[in-house]
Amino acid sequence: MTIIEAMEARHAVRRYKDKEIAASAVEGLQEEINRCNQEGSLTIQLILNDKDVFKGLMAYSVGFRGVSNYIALAGPADEKLEEKLGYYGQRIALKAQQLGLNTCWAAATYKRGNCKAVVGDHEELICVLALGYGATQGVPHKSKAMSELCNLEEDMPEWFRKGMEAVLLAPTAMNRQNFFLTLNGEDVTFEVKESKYSKIDLGIIKYHFEVGSGSL
């Protein structure tokens, strides 16, 4: 499965099978997490066999069931942390998809106080990715038209079109797609409407665009 195929196949999954993640998948995922931590100076952690984080009314109300594994997205606290965790968190989510696993972003629907991640002084836990073998593969999210999300409708360079096609597949908070890309010459500007999770969204869409456009 290519990374683009993983983007097309990956959807938010909240219900998981009671099945231990294969050792080979754990190894592959941990290797990717290690690379992301090194590149981004982050402290992202894989937590296995912990059912306490997705217990409670909030998680239940949005449909989480059977979650016993997750990826804690954390790093040194600074103004770029949320964007970096969006970027590298989505990279890890797509690696999980390639390994036959499913994921779902969670920022307000898990019990932060029960999280087993080790978060040091001057570090911050931003959100988590639920992880495991999904009871389903999820469904595609509704998407706005490409013309609503960028400044071009016709005569679009092929590399930019491919980048935008990848961006349309990106998950965003509440699936609102509150972003806009502007192409000026060969320069691309990313704008997001300010909201609680907009910086995470920004990191996610930047990763999708870079992969789709071939700039990575």
d(Cα 131, Cα 147) in Å, to the nearest integer?
A: 33
Alpha helical stretches, state H, 145-187: 158-168
Residue ranges of domains in the chain, CATH in brackets: 3-132 (3.40.109.10), 146-213 (3.40.109.30)
Contact 71, 128 (CB under 8 A): yes
- The SS3 of residue 54 is coil
Confidence at residue 175, expressed as pLDDT on a 0 to 100 scale: 87
- The SS3 of residue 62 is coil
Predicted TM-score of the model (pTM):
0.95
Confidence at residue 26, expressed as pLDDT on a 0 to 100 scale: 98
Point out which residues pair with 123 in neighbouring strands: 76
The per-residue pLDDT for range 39-55, each reduced to its tens digit, is 999 999 999 999 999 98
Contact 3, 94 (CB under 8 A): yes
* Residue 215 confidence class, pLDDT cut points 50, 70, 90: confident
* Residue 195 confidence class, pLDDT cut points 50, 70, 90: confident
Contact 205, 188 (CB under 8 A): no
Task: Match 């995922």 to its residue by tokens.
Answer: 29
Q: Give which of 172, 175, 162, 168 is closest to 148, Cα–Cα.
A: 168
Count Cβ atoms within 10 A of the Cβ of residue 165 and give its class: 0-12 exposed, 13-18 middle, 19 or more buried.
middle
